Amino acid sequence: MEPVAMDGTRKPGAGKKVCVIGASGKLGRYLVQHALDRGYEVVGVCREQSVHKLADLAGEITVVPGATDDRAVVARAVNGCDAVLTVLVPWGVEHYASGTAQAVLDHARPGARLVFSCGWHITRDGKDVYTRRFKVYAAVFGRLAKLARVVDVDDQVEACRRIFASDTSWTVVRGSDLEEGGSQGLPVWSRHVGDPILASNLTRRVDYARFMVEAVENDALVHEAPAIVGRLTPSALAHAAGPA
């Protein structure tokens, strides 16, 4: 990793190591790339069957194969890491998300920056205001997905409850609807869904990842659950004087 940027300044990640839990997915790949660009040494955890998705990064990152809720796998991967970026996904009905979160909370070194992903449906203080459409979609999707035993959204809620209750240096980044496409810059954020700046409900996945990686060096985001939206969306442009 080059410790110095093109302009001669030291990269923020120089000499530091981050772990990306769920490195082979769409968000995970962007997290890895942003972390490498910032000069971090990167360790990635992904399922055995997905290791091939990271083949192009052989030599650039260390891959630890395994389920992200496997405590031994997570313990090995986060060893010596200054930060852990976790893609929190509620697959199946075996407490995958809460298992992943708990493993990270238990095994990351004390003081490590922990940054987790989730959706707007997670609320930290109950003060988020959701549209009727959002609530209906979340309820219907949540119930059907659980019935089919594919996804357990309640377990992602439990995962975040544990994170919020922990005394670690956590940030939970709550993503809006996502789309692919080139970067529009760092997303803007607000503490509560329902705030006008978030109304456009759309973020580029590449920028979601950037927000998570930049959160590692941003102490103002410790113990925050920012809800994010793309900085070039109409609502962000109309309310640009917000907390971002």
Cα distance from N-terminal residue to C-terminal residue, the chain: 30
Instruction: Report if residue 187 touches ligand NAP, rule: CB under 6 A.
Output: no
**CB closer to ligand NAP out of 16 and 204:** 204
160-179 residues near ligand NAP, rule: CB under 6 A: 175, 177-178
Tokens of 223: 């113990």
H-helix or E-strand spanning residue 45: strand 41-46
192-231 residues near ligand NAP, rule: CB under 6 A: 205
CB 66 within 8 A of CB 24: no
Instruction: Report if residue 146 touches ligand NAP, rule: CB under 6 A.
Output: no
Instruction: Report if residue 44 touches ligand NAP, rule: CB under 6 A.
Output: no
Give the Cα separation of 3 and 143 in Å (integer).
Answer: 48
Give the Cα separation of 151 and 141 in Å (integer).
Answer: 9
**CB closer to ligand NAP out of 50 and 183:** 50
Stretch that binds ligand NAP, among 6-14, 45-53, 164-172, 187-195 (CB under 6 A): 45-53
Instruction: Give the phi and the psi of residue 225 in degrees, each rounded to 5.
Output: -125, 70
Q: Which of 35, 36, 42, 89 binds ligand NAP (CB under 6 A)?
A: 89
Tokens of 73: 């796998």
Q: Which of 57, 87, 101, 215 binds ligand NAP (CB under 6 A)?
A: 87
Give the Cα separation of 207 and 185 in Å (integer).
Answer: 6
Return residues touching ligand NAP (CB under 6 A).
22, 24-28, 46-47, 50, 53, 87-89, 91, 96, 117-119, 175, 177-178, 205
